[in-house]
Amino acid sequence: MKKVIAILVVVLLAVMAFFYFGIYSEGTRAGTIIKVSKRGTIFKTHEGQLNVNAFGAVKGKGGLNESFEFSIPENPELLKKIDGLIGQPVRLSYEEKYFLFPWLGETKYLVTDVELNADASSSESSYPRH
């Protein structure tokens, strides 16, 4: 009986570790950071919103605004970097988690890096306008 309980505990810990450390996908999104806030009832986490311009999505319009919600892990250096780039064209690198833990954030998307998108002004002009 003790062996069965020990095996169940090990399996449960392995599953929890997989959900905590496992990464479903990794990616990069470009746009403009429009909001960063610290919120939550029990666990205060930093959350942000990226305005992604989807050019050509609507015929006859210049572009369609779409937002990407993300969480910022407890990393003061990364938070300061993101806060300094609000309103500028950026590229956000992120990891999508399998499962959301409330102390990590409100979204499954955890930002790992941010950088100024220097070629945003030149690439925006290359999109065809109808």
Asked if 8 and 14 count as a contact pair (C-beta separation under 8 A), the reply is: no
For residue 67, the tally of other CB atoms under 10 A from its CB is: 13
User: In this predicted structure, what is the pLDDT of residue 57?
Assistant: 47
Among 84, 87, 104, residue whose Cα is nearest residue 96: 104
Q: 38-70 pLDDT, tens per residue?
A: 998 899 999 999 998 755 444 545 556 689 999
Residue 19: pLDDT over 90: no
Segment 115-123 mean pLDDT: 72
What is the reported pLDDT for 27? Answer: 94
Is the separation of the CB atoms in 92 and 114 below 8 Å? Answer: yes
Residue 120: pLDDT above 90? no
From residue 92, alpha-carbon distances to 2, 28, 29, 122 in Å are: 48, 5, 5, 19
Q: Give all domains of the chain, ordered by start, each with its CATH number.
A: 24-124 (2.40.50.140)
Which among 105, 99, 97 is positioned nearest to 40, based on CA atoms?
A: 105
What pTM, to 2 d.p., does this model score? Answer: 0.74
Dump pLDDT digits (tens) for 63-103: 566 899 999 998 999 999 999 999 999 999 999 998 888 88
